[in-house]
Amino acid sequence: MRVLVTGGAGFIGSHVVEALRAGGHEPVVFDLRGGGAGGDVRDPDAVSAALARVDAVCHQAAMVGLGDGVSDAADYVSHNDLGTAVLLAAMARAGVRRLVLAGSMVVYGEGRYTCARHGTVRPGPRSAADLAAGRFEPRCPSCAADLAPGLVGEDAPADPRNVYATTKLAQEHLAAAWARSTDGTAVSLRYHNVYGPGMPRDTPYAGVASFFRSALARGQAPRVFEDGGQRRDFVHVRDVAAANVAALEAERAGGTLGAYNTGSGEPHTVGEMAVALAGAHGGPDPVVTGEYRLGDVRHITADSSRLRADLGWKPQVGFEEGMREFATARLREG
């Protein structure tokens, strides 16, 4: 299969390219960084040219991370949503009917919570006053009791809490509309916290694992926000790349969007990750700062069993093994 990989020179995209080659496919790299079919996914002419003789598209190109509140909202919408719309329109014209989209678990907002009295509940956004006072855990919206975090399934309602999350949800809606109108097959892999070799260093748009790894490379202690108790699912980039290949190879009925949570299945706190990474690197030890960012969610870990059952995928890199590798892995500039 000849596969156009948008963002194919980036962190996740480059690993997808490697996994496709290893699987006997022919990846075509399309990326702002150049190389291969270099170009901007928002450029209709460049995208149309890149789609020549292509059987499928793996859409990884995106502006990622929490960013700067809403001041860079136009950039996010341009790169993520306009870019996706341009790509899908070009695919419709070219007759390319197979798409795998780099989705994100951020579309859920806060994760799944259970109240002993009220059952499953969905707390609203945490207030600046609570965060400033160190009250980091969401409370039951009905009785203000403590909540127990759990796993989110793909059928949970979307509740994006920041600009990036909103654009990722819009990408899914655009892909669903394209699939219905073309009878194409579309899969969104809702990534958890992806980490591994080739992550970008020292950028406000990288993930928390990159922040910590960059600090350690400078000889500085990783700075852990809140109290470090935020639950996440850290999934290795090679496992994510393998999930993309599995989704591209899967036989699916056209006309709908299939969404799959893509995580390791082993939730860990941010504090645990910082300790494991610092330990594998040889220090310095993390510092818990109590700082916070509005728009961050407290706990988000999702159930990835549907991906395992439907596509036969399962992660191969465990948490401890992955952190040991990542502690000394190469990072990408910018």
Catalytic residues: 164
DSSP string for 269-326:
EHHHHHHHHHHHHT-PPPEE-----TT--SB-EE--HHHHHHH-------HHHHHHHH
- C-alpha of 307 from chain center: 15
Which of 22-58 are b and which e, b meaning 16 or more Cβ less than 10 Å from the residue's Cβ?
ebebebbbbbbeeebbebbbbeeebbbebbeebebbb
Q: How far apart are the C-alpha atoms of 242 and 206, rounded to whole Å?
A: 21
Residue type at position 286: P
DSSP 85: H
Residues in the chain: 334
Sheet holding 148-152, edge to edge: 119-121, 112-115, 148-152, 301-302
Helix (H) or strand (E) holding 45: helix 44-50
Backbone angles phi, psi at 76, to 5 degrees: -60, -50
